[in-house]
């Protein structure tokens, strides 16, 4: 029997979205690294 997993977009955004990244020091580093690499920040699923 398969387990149906319903993914919540809101929960995902709260955990790993742009604003969640900005709150922590490490997250801000990730954003800065993406900006250097691509010129803009694109989220986890490009």
Digit-by-digit pLDDT tens for the chain (46 residues) are 788 888 899 998 899 899 999 999 999 999 999 999 988 887 766 5
| Helix ranges, the chain (H) | 9-16, 18-23, 25-38
Per-residue pLDDT at 44? 66
Residues whose CB is less than 8 angstroms from the CB of residue 28 and which lie 6 or more positions away in sequence, other chains included: 21, 22
Cut 0.75: pTM above it:
no
Per-residue pLDDT at 16? 87
Question: Quick one: residue 39, left, alpha or beta (phi over 0 = left, psi -120 to 50 = alpha)?
Answer: left
Could you give the 3-state DSSP secondary structure of residue 42? coil
Residues whose CB is less than 8 angstroms from the CB of residue 17 and which lie 6 or more positions away in sequence, other chains included: 43
């Amino acid at each position: 029997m398969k387990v149906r997993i319903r993914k919540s977009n809101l929960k995902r955004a709260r955990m790993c979205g742009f604003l969640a990244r900005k709150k922590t020091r490490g997250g801000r580093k990730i954003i800065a690294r993406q900006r250097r690499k691509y010129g803009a920040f694109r989220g986890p699923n490009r």
